[in-house]
Amino acid sequence: MAWFNWYDNNKSLIHVATYNGTSDATREAEQAVQKGWMPQGTAATEGHINVGRTMAQVELLGVGSLLFGSSRTKGKIIITYCRTPVWFTEQEKIREAIEGLVIVIQSKQPGLNAARAERNTAKGELDQHQEAVRSIVGRKKGIATETLFRAEGVYLNQRSIDRGSLELGNDNISFTGWHGGMKVPLSQVQRVDLGASLVGPRAGIPLIPHFWSGAARARDTLLLVVQDRNETPVRRAVICDLRDGAHWQELIKIQQGRLGDVAARYAELDGHSEAAVAAAEAAIQLLAAAERRLAPVEEEVRGLVSQKQKLAATSRYY
pLDDT in tens, 265-281: 999 999 999 999 999 99
Peptide bond into 201 cis (omega under 30): no
Helices (H) and strands (E) in the chain, counts: 5, 10
269 located within any domain:
no
The residue from 214, 232, 257 where one domain ends is 257
Choose among 165, 169, 140: nearest CA to 153.
165
Q: Are 156 and 243 within one domain? A: yes
Domain termination site, one of 211, 230, 257: 257
d(CA 54, CA 214): 115
200 confidence band (pLDDT: 50, 70, 90): confident
**Could you tell me if residue 76 is inside a domain?**
yes
Least confident of 49-58, 76-85, 197-206, 218-227: 49-58
53 and 104 in contact (C-beta within 8 Å)? no
In this structure, is residue 33 part of a structural domain? yes
Q: Are 221 and 259 in contact (CB under 8 A)?
A: no
Task: Decide if 68 is inside a domain.
Answer: yes
Question: Do 174 and 76 have their domain in common?
Answer: no
Q: Is 13 within a domain?
A: yes
Q: What is the pLDDT of residue 55?
A: 41
* 262, 148 contact by CB (below 8 A): no
In a domain, 250, yes or no: yes
Cα distances (angstroms) measured from residue 121 to each of 113, 128, 129, 224, 290: 12, 11, 13, 55, 9
Backbone Cα Rg of the chain: 45
Report yes or no on whether pTM surpasses 0.75: no
20 pLDDT above the threshold of 60: yes
Domain membership flag for residue 236: yes
pLDDT band at 229 (very low <50, low <70, confident <90, very high): confident
Mean pLDDT of 236-252: 95
Residue 46, in any domain of the structure: yes
Distances (CA, A) of 224 to 60, 142, 155, 194, 311: 114, 25, 11, 9, 83
Q: What is the pLDDT of residue 222?
A: 95
pLDDT recorded at residue 193 = 95
Residue 164 and residue 74 share a domain: no
Domain total of the chain: 2
CA distance 91 to 161: 91
Which CATH number does the domain housing residue 183 bear? 2.30.29.30
Helix residue spans in the chain (DSSP H):
22-34, 51-61, 85-145, 245-257, 259-312
Q: Which domain holds residue 185?
A: 149-257
End residue of a domain, out of 83, 98, 124: 83
Measured in degrees and rounded to the nearest 5, phi and psi for residue 207 equal 70, 5
Residues 168 and 245 in one domain: yes
Distance CA 25, CA 9 (A): 18
- Report the distance separating Cα 318 and Cα 313, nearest Å: 7
pLDDT of residue 71: 40
Residues 248 and 154 in one domain: yes
Q: What is each CA distance from 115 to 109, 126, 133, in whole angstroms?
A: 10, 17, 27
Minimal CA–CA distance to 238: which of 172, 179, 170, 160? 160
- pLDDT at residue number 208: 67
Burial (CB < 10 A; 0-12, 13-18, 19+), residue 235, is middle
> 285 versus 10: which is more confidently predicted?
285
Does the pLDDT of residue 21 top 60, yes or no? yes
